[in-house]
Amino acid sequence: MRVSGREEGLRNLFVRGLAGDDAAYHAFLQQLAGFVRGYLRGRLARIPDEVEDLVQETLLAVHNQRHTYDPAQPLTAWVHAIARYKMVDLLRRRAGRDAMHDPLDEDALFAAPDEAAHDARRDLAVLLAQLPDRHRLPIVHVKLEGLSVAETARLTGMSESAVKVGIHRGLKALAAKVRA
């Protein structure tokens, strides 16, 4: 009961976020971070240092691929598939096959949130600084400093559509850098 209640509450926030409610989307990502952290911490007990990096990578993937969510589909299944994909991808990159013996069950995803974020080892701000200007400047001005798209366009000399495209592609480029 508690798990399905969480699913309903989170799904509601996410669907409102997809419709353009940024505050609901912020609350969704914040709560999701706790659930993903709890889920990964249980499964990556042998490599606890990697958990926060993977939480961040999963959140970035959820954001970049949010257009693939179908509101008719259970949110648990969608998030779980992404979190598991990113976890298996990490383990493959580490070639650490021993950790894969742990069972990967999706019921456990919304079971116990873990709100205590540890420091990530890899700093996304450092990776962000390595992006080319056409990606980096729109993200820094709009997403970090909170300027509007129009203000950023004036400041950088880019067109407004180039700013929007720069944010979109830049966040994908950031996700690609995480895997590199």
Partner 1 sequence: MRTDQLVAMLARGAGATAPGAPQRRFAAALAGGGAAAVVLMVITLGVRPDLAEAPRDPMFWVKLGVPALILASAFAGCTRAGRPGARVAAAAATLAVPVGAIGLLAALALASAPPGTRGALVMGGSWAACVISIALLALPVFAGALWAMKGLAPTRPALAGTFAGLLAGAAGALVYSFHCPEMAAPFIASWYLLGIVVPAAIGGLAGRMLLRW
Which residues bind to partner 1, rule: CB under 8 A? 17-20, 22-23, 25-26, 29-30, 33, 37, 52, 55-56, 59-61, 63, 65-71, 73-74, 76-82, 84-85, 89, 117, 119-120, 123-125, 128, 139, 142-144, 146, 148-149, 167, 171, 175
Q: How far is the CB of 142 from partner 1 (least distance, A)?
A: 6
CB of 146 to partner 1, least distance (A): 6
Give the nearer residue to partner 1 in terms of CB position, either 134 or 164.
Answer: 164
- To the nearest whole angstrom, how small is the minimum distance from the Cβ of residue 110 to partner 1? 13
Q: How far is the CB of 1 from partner 1 (least distance, A)?
A: 22
Compare residues 26 and 46 and give the one whose CB is closer to partner 1.
26
How far apart are CB 3 and partner 1 at their closest, in Å? 16
State residue 44 phi and psi, 5-degree precision.
-115, 40
105 φ, ψ (degrees, to nearest 5): -110, 135
If the CB atoms of residues 1 and 126 are measured against partner 1, the closer one turns out to be 126
Q: In terms of DSSP H, where are the helices of the chain?
A: 2-18, 22-43, 51-64, 75-94, 124-129, 133-138, 149-156, 160-179
Closer of 22 and 98 to partner 1 (Cβ): 22
Q: Which positions ≥6 away from 51 have C-beta within 8 Å?
A: 37, 40, 41, 44, 118
Query: What's the sign of the alpha-carbon dihedral 69, 34, 48, 60?
Result: positive
In angstroms, the CA 39 to CA 80 distance is 9
Q: How many residues does this entry show for the chain?
A: 180
